[in-house]
Structure 1
């Protein structure tokens, strides 16, 4: 009897060992298959992600990243719903959104800016000057002609045409709309008291006004419509230049007209990044300082702090850590006119990335 018992016990031990080996092999197969992440959202951040991804995947061959340009509003919504692992946004989430979704993190990956571009025959080689109140007037329909006295006053000596202005706005939920409307809101009380700011706003009805989807749509609408004006993320500067479109100087908070350049974007960032809170939700729009360009912003990764499993957790952490460090090198950022995160902000982002669990 004891011999039979030993035989059964030995058989059971061999079966258990075999099962463990099979399980181990299965785990190895799963690890070899890798992890797939989906990033979607901001069309302003989209070109940079497309530059980043091949280099990241080379450094982390077990991770596959798919990118999509759907607009910041969609990036936020899909990160909240769990449809994607990384939502890209030029806009930070509101207090109300955070209250409703306390597990969602807003993590800056870089600093960007937005240009005001126009298609004005014979004048696209000149940097016309605009202020927040004048742009608000155009987008509310109070200023309808290019030679309106308000525009002429800002551009003395420039012969502006007696032609209707075609304002172009985003139709999708857009971080570009968020920061553009913030500039108007912060600089123009009448806009703040009526339209306000957000990834979507109730655009006033303007005769001849056009809507476009994404930054590519804005560039195309501007190309196809002489006498149009639009707000376009600086990562599309090559497309703007190829179309020979104009780029405006904007009036900043200090009353100076400035172009979006590496120097003016950095100057604006230097004024406000030191005020970045622990959750990193802050507007960098309309910063003080004589050299500050008025429409800059953090480019955010919107991420759920509770991922579905440990493998996804690690992949998301690796992607965000790489993007905010190696991905912030000048060789990547200069291709889209972005600026790197300051060391103090990288530290805050690292602290937020550490909160992600699986």
Structure 2
């Protein structure tokens, strides 16, 4: 695995991560100095947004460098809220988020750019509940228990409600420190949407969104990296993070009870099972709700945002080339699977490719 792993450990102090598809220094033309660039494209792409897919985005960009070494990709892992804002403002070539663009977002984007925005999913992944204590790995939680922990109704691991859910575990007499995202976050959207769907009290008090007014007694972390670091550094900490960060940092994770009453581990298979239950309209505005069977119930999607106009021809070709490579090359799927993300099925990929072809179509 490449450089992102070392960045996870220091994510609290490095919330923005940039990466390039080509190695070496830029000679000013988008080429890496001293290398046989090959390929047919030359130039730079800039993107910004979700931290959720940052690990796989880095891997994709590095692998794509063997196809188009003259293309450099710089992605700023600043959170979904920032990705939506920068996309609408037109300061990046593409945005990324775990929250799809609402009709209001799309209207604002069209007004700003003078043409329609285009959004499409590229990957699925789980939001996991991670613990500081390895002995808690596999602890069972329900949506109600998670909501009460973040609402500070449950403040200790040996709370009777948690002990009832885990009769075979010797839960510690340890105060719980709930950790949340402090930035505008699609991971927060997925997490809070899940709780709002499953828990009426949470829906009334906190609702859903990329930012939430958290209860006092909770701790914030910048990005998935920052939450992971807070959980690792604080005894009794519990936080919600992208599955990839939990895997790579070796954190213990909870099994979450789904709609059918099954306590499901956040495995790749369980994420895939959940994603296959999603009803995906032509607008690609969807959530993954009420998951039963073998599906993990807190499963989210990453969207990419681009425009139908406003790019120069070279930038448009680079965008199409990169995202079509992601959708069609087996290496892209293999990297996603290795990191704990669930690639899309072939039929959905075909629908998404039609969206990619809309890039700059109105120029």
* Cα distance, 1:34–1:330 mapped onto 2, change above 3 Å: closer
RMSD of aligned residue pairs (Cα, Å): 2.0
Instruction: Find the counterpart in structure 1 of residue 238 from structure 2.
Output: 229
Match 1:94 to one of 93, 97, 102:
102
- 2:326 and 2:332 in contact (8 A); partners too: no
- 1:167 and 1:210 in contact (8 A); partners too: yes
Instruction: Find the counterpart in structure 1 of residue 281 from structure 2.
Output: 277
Instruction: Find the counterpart in structure 1 of residue 350 from structure 2.
Output: 347
Q: TM-score, normalised by structure 1?
A: 0.84
Instruction: Find the counterpart in structure 2 of residue 108 from structure 1.
Output: 121
Q: CA deviation at 1:328?
A: 6.6
Instruction: Find the counterpart in structure 2 of residue 254 from structure 1.
Output: 260
Match 2:178 to one of 167, 174, 180:
167
Q: Where does the alignment leave 5 or more consecutive residues of structure 1 unmatched?
A: 1-28
Instruction: Find the counterpart in structure 2 of residue 156 from structure 1.
Output: 167
2:61 is the counterpart of 1:53: yes
1:1-12 alignment, distance < 5 Å: none
User: Aligned equivalents of 1:224 and 1:307: distance in 2?
Assistant: 45
- 1:306 and 1:356 in contact (8 A); partners too: yes
Instruction: Find the counterpart in structure 1 of residue 214 from structure 2.
Output: 203
SS at match of 1:271: coil
SS at match of 1:193: helix
Q: Identify, as 1 or 2, the structure richer in helix.
A: 1
1:240-277 deviations in whole A, cap 9, x for unaligned?
31xxx3210001111111011122111111211xx211
* Cα distance, 1:328–1:99 mapped onto 2, change above 3 Å: farther
2:131 is the counterpart of 1:118: yes
User: Aligned equivalents of 2:310 and 2:175: distance in 1?
Assistant: 51
2:340 is the counterpart of 1:326: no
User: Aligned equivalents of 2:124 and 2:321: distance in 1?
Assistant: 20
User: Aligned equivalents of 1:233 and 1:30: distance in 2?
Assistant: 32
2:274 is the counterpart of 1:268: yes
Instruction: Find the counterpart in structure 2 of residue 25 from structure 1.
Output: none
User: Aligned equivalents of 1:249 and 1:33: distance in 2?
Assistant: 46
Q: CA deviation at 1:305?
A: 2.4
- 2:246 and 2:253 in contact (8 A); partners too: no
1:271-307 deviations in whole A, cap 9, x for unaligned?
11xx2111212112442x3211011122211222223
Instruction: Find the counterpart in structure 1 of residue 224 from structure 2.
Output: 215
- 1:105 and 1:279 in contact (8 A); partners too: no
2:192 is the counterpart of 1:181: yes
User: Aligned equivalents of 2:208 and 2:335: distance in 1?
Assistant: 31
Structure 1 or 2, whichever has the larger Rg, is 1
User: Aligned equivalents of 2:331 and 2:242: distance in 1?
Assistant: 18
User: Aligned equivalents of 2:350 and 2:270: distance in 1?
Assistant: 24
User: Aligned equivalents of 1:95 and 1:162: distance in 2?
Assistant: 47
* Cα distance, 1:177–1:333 mapped onto 2, change above 3 Å: same
- 2:157 and 2:173 in contact (8 A); partners too: yes
SS at match of 1:36: strand
Instruction: Find the counterpart in structure 2 of residue 64 from structure 1.
Output: 72
Count of aligned residue pairs for this structure pair: 320
User: Aligned equivalents of 1:173 and 1:338: distance in 2?
Assistant: 22
User: Aligned equivalents of 1:104 and 1:327: distance in 2?
Assistant: 28
